[in-house]
Amino acid sequence: MQNELNVVGIQTDLVWENPEQNRIVFEDKIHTLHNIDLVILPEMFTTGFTMHPEKIAESMQGITISWMQKMAKKHDFAICGSIVIADDKNYYNRFVFVHPSGKINTYDKRHSFTLAGEDKVYTSGNSKLIVDYKGWKICPLICYDLRFPVWARNTENYDLLIYMANWPVTRIKAWDTLLKARAIENISYTVGVNRIGKDANDYVYSGNSLVVDYLGNELSSLASNEIGLVKATLEKVAQNTVRKKLGFLNDRDSFDIQ
């Protein structure tokens, strides 16, 4: 088990439906990083939150997956984010976690954002993912999933909860409040990485990415519309000590998700 995990989330604007240019932007920022274990990118980080997957969807053997594997191997860290994937005649808003070895874990967004019609063009996932990385159990979720606490409930004793998003500025208070709520109720480090800028649909995003600890305290945050990084060193022993002392997770309700 590795006690400390150095994580960084990259907050920036996204070039609309232009995977190549977005990869260049992120690669430039990645090359400035040192002594990092995990890099977290926003939701649909190569395209923005598009409802036109037929234009830009990639396969799991596509350029972006290969690029992620290249970055992970070159810098000896894990890298993750969601991209638009075409798989078996369906489109997915798919989270991809790439280990330094090139190994891949995936999670398909469960809660489709019906307000934007995501449910009409993307197939929802039905399985929760827990990634085992350097002895840390990591639970990745995507944007709208944040509003559904049952899906995030820490029944697996995970150590880190991650949300990547294209979360609009009009509802940014909910983003900040719910990230801290998920951290507190699950006694888990929680990282939220959001984009900034305006997309082709004139939706405006302010970022407000942050890292919070297992008690909801901010460890790192970015101001609205700021290009930059949220960085923190997470300590597993400290989190486990608080969990054992408080015992809140022992009193969890049991339930089945349908």
Whether residue 82 contacts residue 93, with contact meaning beta carbons closer than 8 Å, is answered with yes
Q: Which helix (H) or strand (E) holds 55?
A: helix 53-56
Residues in the chain: 258
- Cα 33 versus chain centre, distance: 18
Identity of the amino acid at 55: K
- Four-residue CA torsion sign, 7, 12, 16, 21: negative
The C-alpha atoms of residue 157 and residue 151 are separated, in whole angstroms, by 14
Three-state secondary-structure class, residue 150: helix
d(CA 54, CA 64): 16
Residues labelled catalytic: 43, 109, 143
38 contacts: CB under 8 Å, gap ≥ 6: 5, 6, 7, 8, 77, 78, 79, 80, 133, 138
Amino acid at 62: G
